Structure formats: C-alpha cells, structure tokens
A = this chain, B = another copy of it.
C-alpha cells in the first residue's frame, strides 16, 4: 500500500536510545520500533514494516506525512536558497504566509485578528496568549478547565490538568483555577453553575480572572467534546464580565474538527487563538498567536524567540492553506470521514459492554470503562500495523487523529483492525 523503499539497518545499533536518551522518552516505549520513512497515511519502520498512522504526529500532520504538494514547495524553497532562519525579520516567505492567511482564512470568516509569531511550538503560543491577556487586563489569574492540556513550559503547564505533568514543574503551579469542562457531571448540573456563581460572588475567594483558556475538544484530556451551546454560553459569560476568551486551537485547529478553526461551528469569536501543530502543514515547527486587533498592546520585542521565523515552515504553511482551504472540500471530507469512524465506534459501543464513543470531525475516541482495555487495543493495533494512542486522565480512551487526507480504503483498513482488537479484548 505504500511505495517507500526499504533500507535495512543493523540490529546491533538499536540500543543507543536506551543508552543515551533520557528516561523521559515516551512514545518509543509504546511503539518499540525504529521508524525510517513515511508517506501520506503510512509510516515505515527500519525493518520494513508499514504502519497506518491514526495518530498523525498528535495532530501535527493533518495533511499526512511528507505531503507531495508541500514537499515540492519546500524543496523548491530550500534549493532556491530561500531564507531558512529569520527571527522576526520581514521575508518573502513570511509575507506570502501572512497574505495567504488573511486571504484564505481570516477574511472569509470576517476575523480581524493580528498575527503574532511567538516561537515555533504550541506551548510558546499559549505562553504568549497568557502574557497578553494579563497585560491587557492587569490581572494575573487564569481560568482553565478540568483535563485541559496546554503545554509543558511553566506558564502553559500551570493551566494544564494532568497531575503527573504538573508535578514535574517542581514549583507550586499558581495563578490558575480549574473549572468543570462541559459535561463534567454528565449533565446533572447546569452549565457554568459553579463558574458563574463564584465570578459573581464577591466573597467567593476566586481571584478575578484575566482570561479563560479552553479547548473546544480536549484531545489529551480524553476526546472531551464541548457542545456548541456550551461554548457560546462560555463566550457570553466572558464577554459580560470582561474576561478574555482564549481558544487553544493547537490540536483542534487547522481543520481537525471540520472547519479551519474548531470554534467556527459554535459561531463564537475568541479574543485570542493559539495555533500550532498542523499550521506548518508539513510537520515542521510553527506556531501563531491570533488576537483581536484592539488587544495588540505588545511592545516591540516584549515576547520573542529564536525560532519564531521558521521560514521553511512558512512556505509549507502557505502552500497548505492555498491547496486545502480555498474551498470547503477538505472540511466536508473531514466531516464525512469523521462520521464514518463514528458509525464504526457506535457499532462497537452497541456490541460491547464498557465501550462508548465521542468525538467531532476527525478526532474520535473509543472509550473503555476499563483503561487496561484501551491499552490492549492499542497494543493489538500496533501489532497489526496501526498506530493509535490512548488519552484521558486514566488513558482510557483510544484516540484517533488520522490525517485529514486519509483515503476511504485506508480508513476502512484501520477501523477493521480496531474493531477486531476491540472484539478480542471485550468479547
């Protein structure tokens, strides 16, 4: 199914990772092989085995591995000695990206955002967003949500939920207060009952927040989907109380849920938006922070970063926008394929006890009551040539993030593997 060439490697070398790489390594433990090449939805190990990739760089490869359209633009740029490293100097590649981003993304959606290049990763973008929100409001406190994931640098980590990752900080994480994400109590509680009450009670002990930071779908948190009406109510609640709304679209943006921005379905306009992962298109580091024009109170150089001008990623980013976002075909296909997964997962939920499903567009989760089952399914899938990871606080969710460009046959092939693995584990 793939046309990658096979180049065998000497087995004796394999333990350099164990010898030299820190114990912090993680994915390499779940998928114990050495990967070599990749193309589209497929990734090949050094011993020649092909894996269908339902993981897609944790959402950084929405257009597949080594997408030929982007590859062509990238190689042309490199061969033509285009600027590689540009900090925040003006370059032709950056101009192209800005123009494209405005024409293809912002203008058609009526969004009057300024664009910041905060450094090339999602956590850089979140740090910039939090700084800006604090500067604009003069307040320090941030509201985050249960099971949120926003990054691993100190500012982003303080708004992240996972207790193991938080403990890694080595200092008490402060200035953030978690609130219940949508459906945290399975519908028995009115939305924002707690949040709106403590905001409006001057004796509640909640520091008045600068901003709320939210993912529309919590990927790392276990594919928790916020309903559009919940997001709208959240946006209203923020607007009424002059609290900035930050949508962290690092993983769910760039079409993962269908539309380019994951918040479009809800019809809201966040004050600040973070983008990374698939914005570069080709899997190279890039991040943007978007914010309403009137919030652009930054002083020159008040936030910076050596790799904020990763020009080859500007080139592939612009190429991806031009190729995939000038019409609504990708969006429609994403929704159609997402529905295809949902149907399979609904069937599995019906067939097996202790299994349920949730998701939006091409982020779909198969939820197991027993987290061990989710692990087993992913393990079996790997053995059968499929990469899928678990997420959620107990790793109880098999989370699918296939490339948006996956073919129907590939999707079918992968879903069959997962169905069989689920049957084996739960039957």
Q: How far is the CA of A45 from the CA of B173 in the complex (A)?
A: 45
Q: Are B140 and A298 in contact (CB under 8 A)?
A: no
Q: Are B114 and A20 in contact (CB under 8 A)?
A: yes
Min CB distance A43 to B, Å, is: 7
Option from B81, B121, B164, B299 in Cβ contact (under 8 Å) with A299: B164
Option from B71, B88, B203 in Cβ contact (under 8 Å) with A147: B203
Count A interface residues, CB 8 Å. 157
Q: Are A4 and B81 in contact (CB under 8 A)?
A: yes
- Chain B residues within 8 Å of A153, by CB: 123-124, 127, 153-156
Min CB distance A255 to B, Å, is: 17
- Chain B residues within 8 Å of A352, by CB: none
- Chain B residues within 8 Å of A65, by CB: 81, 83-85
Q: Are A37 and B82 in contact (CB under 8 A)?
A: yes
Q: How far is the CA of A277 from the CA of B293 in the complex (A)?
A: 32
Given A16-B102, A85-B284, A208-B163, also A115-B21 (CB < 8 A): yes
Min CB distance A14 to B, Å, is: 8
Q: Are A135 and B205 in contact (CB under 8 A)?
A: no
- Chain B residues within 8 Å of A402, by CB: none
Is A253 close to B, CB under 8 A?
A: no
Is A306 close to B, CB under 8 A?
A: yes
Q: Are B75 and A87 in contact (CB under 8 A)?
A: no
Q: How far is the CA of A198 from the CA of B195 in the complex (A)?
A: 14
> Digit string of A151-186 for contact with B (CB within 8 Å is 1, else 0)?
111111011111111111111111111101000110
Q: Are B25 and A300 in contact (CB under 8 A)?
A: yes
Is A207 close to B, CB under 8 A?
A: yes
Min CB distance A195 to B, Å, is: 10
- Chain B residues within 8 Å of A144, by CB: 205
* Contact segment of A89-97, A225-233, A334-342: A89-97
Q: Are A123 and B124 in contact (CB under 8 A)?
A: yes
Nearest first, the 8 A-B pairs at minimum CB distance are A134-B170, A85-B283, A203-B393, A154-B155, A153-B153, A24-B298, A178-B205, A161-B205
Specify the chain B residue showing the minimal Cβ separation from A316: B84
Q: Are B98 and A152 in contact (CB under 8 A)?
A: no
Is A427 close to B, CB under 8 A?
A: no
